[in-house]
Amino acid sequence: MEKLAGEKFFIRTFGCQMNVHDSEQLATIMTEAGYERTGDEGAAAVILVNTCSIRDKVAQKIVSQLGRYRTRKIKNPGLIIGVGGCLAQHWGREIFKRAPHVDLVFGTHVLHEVPELVGRVKNGYRMVMDTAFREDIPSLDICAAVTNGNGRLNLQAFVTIMQGCDNFCAYCVVPYLRGRERSRPAAAIIREIEALVGRGVREVTLLGQNVNSYGRGLAEETSFPALLEKINAIPGLERIRFTTSHPKDLSDGLISCFGRLEKLCEHIHLPFQAGANRVLERMNRGYTREEYLSRIEMLRKRCPDIAVTADVMVGFPGETETDFEATLTLMEAVRFDGLFSFMYSEREGTQALSFADKVPEQEKRRRLMILQALQDRHTLEKNRALIGKPVSVLVEGASKNDRREMTGRTRTNKIVNFAGSGDLRGQTVSLCITAAYLHSLRGEPRKEGKADVYRNEDRRADH
């Protein structure tokens, strides 16, 4: 493989947190192969686009982005453009047809091979492609760099605990693009987190399409709650988050971890997708509205202050006005802290593609607007309820909007801005919430003067 020391690469990422993490691992692979990462696209000799195929709109955005790279390539014919990730896995050679200036297409299982594939392009090969699925995915074990684009240490890190998905929800492309579900051995995960903590990381987010089924298929007898117990015991780690949980696999064992494992943050992201049972069934989700609501009730009984967020979509084929209203009444019943909402998007290869009774685009848009207006009311209501309450905030750094302000997150994953100095970065401070908005909170130190460093004993009582 040809190595050009210092040759610069740039990565652009679309899609979910898993893809963001894949990009960090890809950057580590490229750096180890002798390339140098740049945040300046114009200075790059290699541009890698890590893509997503979850909805048509995302795919269209990526196609436009690739179109813009054509001009760059005309100006600089030596520029190498590689397209990887889920859309590359989905479309394969089609990418070369839609964007003939692309040199390289790589799938979701072959990140470790990218330097070699780039090398092939340099040696004169055209339309280089590898989208094969692998039994083992070597890049899963790569401990991604913990510094951001500016060389600054990150306090948070993602850690993959499982890959792929076996759920085959009727609307979803992920199982076809990420392959079969497989869990990483606990020892490898623990080792990775210990290494991250050693490099200054304080908070980890465990990643998987369906983290509750962690352990299935592993030689060792284990489960997601058992993994959480082990991670909770890692010295120096302060916070644990995870995403995404599937309601059908949310066990009592996992619910009992909240409030018991002191590092596990009081937040769960639990997509519900729809509120009507006939829609949930057609989606192949594996739970009913009543089961979903009873899981939420159990969670709140166990941990009254837990923040609950979810994903939902409108306009799934056959969704009637009554079905849509059932989604709204579920929202009223739960009162989510936040919601990611989408219009159903037809995806090639999925079961729902063949379903009749498609909902017109305009109607989907109308439903989405009604749903989002309701959620905004709930989000604001939830945030306002925190006014006057104490929260512990892991300080991430200066606020983007006002450099004199510091910003951080509560254990419930809400952004809090407060007046403070840069030396608080990396500390966990105790603040009192003084104002609440749709997307953030304002706080002030609970005691006079400098915010006191948050103590371990306080943790359970706070948010």
Min separation Cβ 20 and ligand F3S, Å: 9
Give 148's DSSP letter: -
Min separation Cβ 345 and ligand SAH, Å: 4
Of 82 and 271, nearer to ligand SAH (C-beta) is 271
φ and ψ at residue 175, rounded to 5 degrees:
-60, -30
Of 30 and 280, nearer to ligand SAH (C-beta) is 280
Residue 227 touches which of ligand SAH, ligand F3S, ligand SF4, none (Cβ within 5-8 Å per kind) = none
Of 115 and 175, nearer to ligand SF4 (C-beta) is 175
| Residue 340 binds to ligand SF4 (criterion: CB under 6 A) | no
Give 377's DSSP letter: H
| Residue 345 binds to ligand SF4 (criterion: CB under 6 A) | no
DSSP structure string for 233-291: T-TT--EEEEE---GGG--HHHHTTTTTSTTB-SEEE---B-SSHHHHHHHT-S--HHH
Of 82 and 179, nearer to ligand SAH (C-beta) is 179
CA distance 166 to 179: 8
| Residue 265 binds to ligand SF4 (criterion: CB under 6 A) | no
CB 212 within 8 A of CB 183: no
Token pair belonging to 425: 């970065």
| Residue 11 binds to ligand F3S (criterion: CB under 6 A) | no
Min separation Cβ 30 and ligand F3S, Å: 19
H/E element, 60: helix 56-75
- Please report, as residue ranges, which positions from 76 to 105 form the binding site for ligand F3S (by CB under 6 A): 85-86
| Residue 160 binds to ligand F3S (criterion: CB under 6 A) | no
Min separation Cβ 176 and ligand SAH, Å: 12
Using CA atoms, how far residue 15 sits from 263, 337, 452, in Å, is 28, 22, 38
**Contacts (Cβ under 8 Å, ≥6 apart) of 16:** 52, 54
Q: Report the interhelical angle of 321-334 vs 361-384 (nearest 10°).
A: 10
Q: Given its phi and psi angles, is residue 71 left (phi above 0), alpha (psi -120 to 50 degrees) or beta?
A: alpha
Largest CA distance in the chain: 66
Of 173 and 424, nearer to ligand F3S (C-beta) is 173
Of 36 and 363, nearer to ligand SAH (C-beta) is 363
CB 90 within 8 A of CB 177: yes
Token pair belonging to 389: 């309450």
CB 50 within 8 A of CB 16: no
> Which span sits near ligand F3S by CB under 6 A: 172-180, 223-231, 263-271, 389-397?
172-180
Min separation Cβ 283 and ligand SF4, Å: 8
CB 25 within 8 A of CB 142: yes
Residue 86 touches which of ligand SAH, ligand SF4, ligand F3S, none (Cβ within 5-8 Å per kind) = ligand F3S
- Judged by CB under 6 A, which of 163, 210, 243, 327 binds ligand SF4? 210
CA distance 455 to 447: 14
- Please report, as residue ranges, which positions from 228 to 257 form the binding site for ligand SF4 (by CB under 6 A): 246
- Judged by CB under 6 A, which of 7, 8, 11, 19 binds ligand F3S? 19
| Residue 174 binds to ligand SF4 (criterion: CB under 6 A) | yes
Of 52 and 142, nearer to ligand SAH (C-beta) is 52
Token pair belonging to 76: 């600089």
- Judged by CB under 6 A, which of 83, 129, 177, 310 binds ligand F3S? 177
Residues that bind ligand SAH (CB under 6 A): 54-55, 171-172, 174, 209, 244, 246, 271, 273, 311, 313, 342, 344-345, 347
| Residue 169 binds to ligand SF4 (criterion: CB under 6 A) | yes
Of 27 and 197, nearer to ligand F3S (C-beta) is 27
> Residues in the site for ligand SF4, rule: CB under 6 A?
165, 167-169, 172, 174-175, 209-210, 246
